[in-house]
């Protein structure tokens, strides 16, 4: 199990609410050896920087699900993020709800770490996003084994600022994972949306069906390789050619 506690603000180039952060305190030292085999967008600092509360929560969570279920962990903002084995997805939810006091499900969502395609091909210019999106696949806090991940945030209605975010890797060729519906019934619509937008299949869900799109719709709109008409018409997210106001050119010429 790897623990990568992180503090500070999001680095340029990351594309997720779970994006890795940079060191902002002069006293925070980066262990370069520990990041040699990791993605360059992830900054690792000494494990001692993990707060006592995060360390305690991680220890209790690991005790409930087993050390073999925990792959990697870190901190995004003020919250613990733990990447777990997909096979432990439901048992982790059950432990969170019945053993750790997380009685509230905030969301279940998906991540596609594929870089945003450039309009007009890989050599095209005109990326106006801030920060400019990376061309190589990069991952956020607690890492990833590949392109797709499912993640969920649970919290407490009784204890303020007490929560944990869990994430699990999905196979790109067959993005399946067990449903949380039996543990958190509120996962129903979240998982339906995730299935509709990313194509992730939640095994055991009572009824995966469309929320927003027509039944005959083909494709998954939140996948990065989904063709968007706007990307074909103008550079994404859109360069706008601003035309001069009527009469401006005449007035300038008259001066």
Count CA within 13 A, CB hemisphere, residue 54. 21
The model scores a pTM over 0.75: no
Q: How far apart are CA 206 and CA 209, in angstroms?
A: 10
pLDDT computed for residue 216 by the predictor: 84
More confident residue, 239 or 246: 246
Q: What share of the chain is helix, strand, coil (3-state, %, to 5)?
A: 25, 20, 55
Q: Tens digits of per-residue pLDDT, 55-90?
A: 999 999 999 999 999 999 999 988 999 999 999 999
Per the rule left: phi > 0, alpha: psi between -120 and 50, beta: everything else, 194 is alpha
Average pLDDT value for the chain: 77
The H-or-E segment that residue 73 falls in is strand 70-76
Judge residue 137's burial from the number of C-beta atoms within 10 Å of its C-beta, 0-12 exposed, 13-18 middle, 19 or more buried.
middle
Q: How far apart are CA 74 and CA 167, in angstroms?
A: 11
Say how far residue 209 (Cα) sits from the centre of its chain.
Answer: 23
> For the chain, what's the residue count?
255
Q: Tens digits of per-residue pLDDT, 136-182?
A: 888 989 999 999 999 999 999 999 889 999 999 999 999 999 999 99
Q: How far apart are CA 94 and CA 182, in angstroms?
A: 9
What is the pLDDT averaged over residues 210-220? 87
CATH T-level topology, domain 2-254:
Beta Polymerase; domain 2 (3.30.460)
Query: Where in the chain are the domains?
Result: 2-254
The packing angle between helices 52-65 and 89-98, to 10°, is: 120
pLDDT computed for residue 41 by the predictor: 38
pLDDT computed for residue 115 by the predictor: 86
């Amino acid at each position: 199990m790897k623990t990568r506690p992180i503090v500070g603000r999001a680095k340029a180039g990351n594309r997720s609410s779970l994006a890795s952060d940079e060191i902002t305190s002069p006293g925070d030292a980066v262990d370069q050896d520990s990041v040699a085999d990791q993605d360059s967008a992830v900054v690792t600092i000494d494990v001692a920087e993990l707060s006592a509360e995060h360390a305690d929560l991680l220890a209790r969570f690991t005790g409930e699900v087993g050390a073999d279920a925990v792959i990697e962990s870190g901190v995004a903002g003020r919250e613990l993020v733990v990447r777990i084995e997909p096979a432990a997805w439901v048992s982790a939810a059950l432990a969170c709800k019945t053993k750790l006091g997380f009685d509230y499900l905030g969301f279940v969502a998906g991540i596609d770490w594929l870089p945003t395609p450039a309009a007009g091909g890989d050599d095209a210019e005109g990326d106006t996003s801030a920060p400019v999106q990376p061309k190589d696949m990069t991952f956020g806090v607690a890492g990833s084994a590949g392109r797709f991940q499912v993640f969920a945030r649970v919290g407490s209605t009784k204890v303020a600022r007490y929560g944990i975010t869990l994430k699990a890797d999905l196979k790109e060729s067959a993005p399946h994972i067990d449903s949380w519906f039996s543990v958190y019934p509120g996962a129903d619509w979240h998982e339906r949306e995730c299935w509709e937008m990313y194509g992730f299949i939640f095994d055991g869900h009572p009824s995966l069906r469309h929320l927003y799109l027509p039944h005959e719709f083909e494709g998954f709109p939140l996948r990065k390789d989904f063709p968007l008409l706007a990307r074909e018409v103008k550079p994404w997210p859109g360069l706008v050619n601003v035309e001069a106001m009527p009469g401006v050119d005449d007035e300038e010429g008259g001066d």
